[in-house]
Amino acid sequence: MKILQIVPSISLIYGGPSQMVLGLAPALAKAGAQVTVLTTDSNGDTGQKPLDVPLNVPIEQDGYEIIYFRCAPFRRYKFSLDLLQWLKSHAQEFDVAHIHALFSPVSSAAATVCRQQKLPYILRPLGTLDPADLQKKKLIKQVYVALIERQNLAGAAAVHFTSEQEAKVSDRFGVSTTDLVIPLGVVPPVGGMGNVRGQWDIPSDVPLVLFMSRIDPKKGLNILIPALEKLWESDYRFHFVLAGTNPQDPGYEKKIRSQIENSPLKSCTTITGFVSGELKASLLQTADLFVLPSYYENFGIAVAEAMVARTPVIISDQVHIWPEIQDSESGWVGATEVEAMVELLQVAVKDSAERQRRGLNAQNYALQHFSWGAIARQTLEAYRERCLKTEN
C-alpha cells in the first residue's frame, strides 16, 4: 500500500502534530507500507529560520521518504504552492492520503486536490473541531467552514480522532462522517537519565513537578501557576520545571515568564524553554509528577510521553484521555479550577509511594495501549477498509 502523510510542518517546535507523523510514518513502513510524507520547511511563525533541509526531493529516513517544500506564499500559515503542485501531479500514484490538520490552508487545499484527483483521504482534525477551539477566531472559522472545511469533511473517507472523547464532542457542521478512533503512539525515552537536578541546582529532596508542553492559553497555566503558588504558601515543598515555547505567540510565553518572575514561585522554578532529545528524555524520567490542566486537549501526547517514562500525571478532565488515566490509576484527574488543582497537587506531592505506584501503572498502560506497532496495524486496517469502500 502506498500512503501519503500530509502535514503543514514536522518541526518539533510545533509539538504533538509533528511528533505524531514522525512516529506513525516509520511504524507504517515497518508494517510493510510504502510511506511518503509531504510537509513544508516551516520552523516557527515569527521570524525563525526555516528548516535547513533539501527541498522538492525525497529524503529517505527510517524506512520512509519525506519531501519538504518551501513555505510560499503565506509563511505564517505554513502554505506551499509547490507542495500542492506536486500532490496534483503525483496523487494517482498513491492509495490513500492521511491529512493532518483542519483550518490550515495547505491541509485544506490538499484535501481539495485529493478529491479532484480521486485519491481517498482521511482527515485528522487535531482537536480543531472541539467547541472550545472553534470559539477562537470564530467568525473567520465560520466562513472557512462554509467555503472549505464542510466540503472537505463531506468528501473524506474517514475522520481520524485520537480519543473517544474527541470524537464525542467534535462538531461536524451537519456533515455525516465515518469516524476512526485511533490513539497516538509514544516511544519509550531513549538515553536520558542525565543529571537534570544538578544541571539546574534542583534540590534532591523535593518532588520535581514538570509542565512540558506548548506555552499556550489552552494549556491551563492560569490554573496551574496560582495552584502552585497556593501549594508553596501552604508549606508544601517542590521544584517546578516549565519546559516549552510558543513559536506562534511569543507574547504569551513572555507574559508567563514574567508572571513567574514576579511570583513566590520564582525561588522554586526553572524555565527551560524548548527541550528535545536526551534533555527531554532526562526531564521526563527525572520528574516525580507531570502536570497538564488543559482546557481542551484532543489526546495529550505529552501526557502519554510522561506515562511511558513512568511518571504519574495530573491532568484536567478536558484532556480527552482522562478516562484512561482515571481507570488505570496512572495519575489524578480534576476539574479546570484552581482549587481542584491544589487538592490534587497536595495529595500527589506529599505521597511518594503513591506517586511511584501510579507511575508504574502509567508506564504499563502506555506500553500496552500507546505502542506505535499496534497503532500502525490498526491504521493500515482502517486505510484498507476505507479505500475499498471508497473505490466501490
Contact 295, 220 (CB under 8 A): yes
> Are 108 and 225 found together in one domain?
no
Which parts of the chain have pLDDT scores under 70? 45-47, 74-76, 191-192, 388-392
> Are 28 and 139 found together in one domain?
yes
Task: Spell out the residues 6+ positions from residue 239 whose beta carbon is closer than 8 angstroms to its own.
Answer: 202, 203, 206, 207, 208, 209, 268, 269, 270
Which domain range does residue 354 map to? 196-369
Task: Spell out the residues 6+ positions from residue 64 whose beta carbon is closer than 8 angstroms to its own.
Answer: 25, 26, 28, 29, 34, 35, 36, 37
DSSP bridge pairs for 3: 35, 96
204 lies in some domain:
yes
> Are 376 and 328 found together in one domain?
no
What pLDDT does 48 receive? 75
CATH number for the domain harbouring residue 302: 3.40.50.2000
φ and ψ at 211, to 5 degrees? -110, 120
> Are 30 and 149 found together in one domain?
yes
Q: Around Cβ 44, how many Cβ atoms within 10 Å?
A: 19
Q: Which three cell numbers stand for residue 182?
A: 485511533
Q: What is the DSSP string of 261-287?
A: HTSGGGGGEEEEES--HHHHHHHHHH-
| Count of structural domains within the chain | 2
128 lies in some domain:
yes
What pLDDT does 392 receive? 38
Helix (H) or strand (E) holding 333: strand 331-334
> Are 337 and 376 found together in one domain?
no
φ and ψ at 324, to 5 degrees? -65, -40
> Are 155 and 258 found together in one domain?
no
144 lies in some domain:
yes
> Are 286 and 151 found together in one domain?
no
The alpha carbons of the chain give a radius of gyration, in whole angstroms, of 21
190 lies in some domain:
no
What pLDDT does 391 receive? 44
> Are 164 and 276 found together in one domain?
no
- What would the 3-class secondary structure string for 20-82 be? HHHHHHHHHHHCCCEEEEEEECCCCCCCCCCCCCCCCCCEEECCEEEEEECCECCHHHCCEHH
Place of cell 472549505: 148
> Are 101 and 243 found together in one domain?
no
Distance CA 280, CA 294 (A): 20
Q: Which three cell numbers stand for residue 13?
A: 517546535
Q: Give the C-alpha distances (Å, rounded to integers) separating 9 from 68, 107, 330.
A: 9, 10, 31
Q: Which three cell numbers stand for residue 218?
A: 489552552
> Are 93 and 136 found together in one domain?
yes
Please, what is the angle between helix 105-116 and helix 81-90, to 10°? 20
**Residue 294: Cβ-neighbour burial (10 angstroms; 0-12, 13-18, 19+):** buried
Query: In b/e form, how buried is each residue of 6-37, taking b as 16+ CB within 10 angstroms?
Result: bbbbbbbbbbbbbbbbbbbbbbbbebebebbb
238 lies in some domain:
yes
93 lies in some domain:
yes
**What 8-state DSSP symbol labels residue 295?**
S
106 lies in some domain:
yes
> Are 74 and 212 found together in one domain?
no
What does pTM read for this prediction?
Answer: 0.84
191 lies in some domain:
no
> Are 320 and 173 found together in one domain?
no
Distance CA 24, CA 107 (A): 18
In three-state secondary structure terms, 256 is: helix
What pLDDT does 138 receive? 93
